[in-house]
Amino acid sequence: MFALLDAAFAQDPVAREAIFPWLQRLGIFTSSPDDWGPLRAVARRSTQEPPLLSDVSLLRIRELLSSSALDDLGQLAVEIGKRTLVDGYIYVEGIRRRQPVLVAEAYLSASIAGGGDPWSRAAGDTPGLQWIDQRYVSFFRNASGGLGARAFFALLGAETAPRPKARQVDESRHGEWASAIENTAGGRRQRELSGGRATHLRNDYECPDLERVLDTLPALPPGERRPRAQALFSALRTAWRRLYSDVAQADAVYSDYSWRSVGPILRFG
C-alpha cells in the first residue's frame, strides 16, 4: 500500500493521522491486512477511466480469486470486471478493430467460449459489441494453475449470451420508479397492453446487444441469415434460465396518485 503513496506523505504524522482511518473505512488498508485487500480496493475504485490490466495483474487477480473463500466473491469479482479493461476488439463496418474492452460489458470470443459457441456465431461482425481477445486462451493455459480463460472472465462478468439490462426509469410515484411504454412497442407486447390502461412499466428490462444483432439479420443473404438466426435462438435457449427467466415479465402500470398495476406482460417472448 505504501508503494502507492508518496514516501514523504506517508511519513508525515499529520497526514498519517488523517488518511489511514479513511483508508480503513474503505477497506483498502487494514491494521491486519489479508490477501484480498487489493481485490476490494480494485472493486471500490471509480468506474471512470478504468485501467488496462497487465498480464501480471491478471494472473495475480486470478490467483486471489481462485484461492478465495469470501462469501461475496461473486459480487466482488463482477465489481472488478466493471472497473477493468483487457485486450479485446470490436467490429467497425465489418472490420475487426483491436481495442481495450471493459470486462463486464464484453463477450467471450469463440475461442474462449469454446467450440460451437452460438452467440459469437449469431453476432458475427455486428458493430457495437465488445469481445475479449482470444489470446487469453493460450495465456491462461500456459500460466499453470488457477482458472482457465473462460471461467476467469465469466467470473468477472463477461458473457456468452446477450446481456439484459434494467431499462432506464424516468418517472416516480412515492419513490417507486417506472419507465414509459415506448410508442413503437409492437407484437405480443402491444397486444397484451392494448386491453389495459397501462402507460408505464415497472421492473422492465431491455437487451440492446440482442437488438443490434436482430437489426443486422434482415440484410444478410438467406444462406447466412438462417444459420445465424438459428445460432441466436440457441444462445437464448441455452442462457434462458440463467439470464432471462427472472426478467421475462414486467409490471404494466398506470398513474393514479401512485402506480396502479394492470398486470404482468411478457418482456421476452
Q: Indicate the pLDDT class of residue 244, thresholds 50, 70 and 90.
A: very high
Going by C-alpha positions, the residue among 89, 84, 128, 82 that lies closest to residue 108 is 89
* pLDDT of 268: 59
Q: Indicate the pLDDT class of residue 6, thresholds 50, 70 and 90.
A: very low
* pLDDT of 44: 83
- Tens-digit pLDDT profile for residues 80-91: 999 999 999 999
* pLDDT of 77: 92
Tell me if 153 sits within 8 A of 107, measured CB to CB: no
Q: Mean pLDDT, to the nearest integer, of 11-40?
A: 57
* pLDDT of 7: 42
**Window from 28-37, 126-135, 176-185 with minimum mean pLDDT:** 28-37
* pLDDT of 27: 47
Cα(51)–Cα(83) distance, rounded to whole angstroms?
A: 7
Going by C-alpha positions, the residue among 192, 197, 204 that lies closest to residue 255 is 197
Which residue(s) pair with 171 in the sheet?
A: 178
DSSP for 99-164, please give it: EEEEGGG-EE-HHHH-TT-HHHHHHTT-TT--EE-THHHHHHHHS-SS--HHHHHHHTT-BSSPPP
* pLDDT of 32: 43
* pLDDT of 246: 92
- Tens-digit pLDDT profile for residues 110-157: 999 987 799 999 999 999 999 999 999 999 999 877 889 999 999 999
Cα(189)–Cα(177) distance, rounded to whole angstroms?
A: 20
* Position with higher pLDDT, 265 vs 22: 265
How buried is 119 (Cβ within 10 angstroms: 0-12 exposed, 13-18 middle, 19+ buried)? buried
Cα(266)–Cα(202) distance, rounded to whole angstroms?
A: 12
Going by C-alpha positions, the residue among 104, 43, 108 that lies closest to residue 72 is 43
pTM of the model: 0.81
- Tens-digit pLDDT profile for residues 206-235: 899 999 999 999 999 999 999 999 999 999
Read off the C-alpha cell for 243.
439470464
Percent of the chain with pLDDT over 70: 78
Beta carbons within 8 Å of 192's beta carbon, 6+ residues apart: 252, 265, 266
* pLDDT of 193: 61
Counting every residue written for the chain, the total comes to: 269
Cα(211)–Cα(214) distance, rounded to whole angstroms?
A: 5
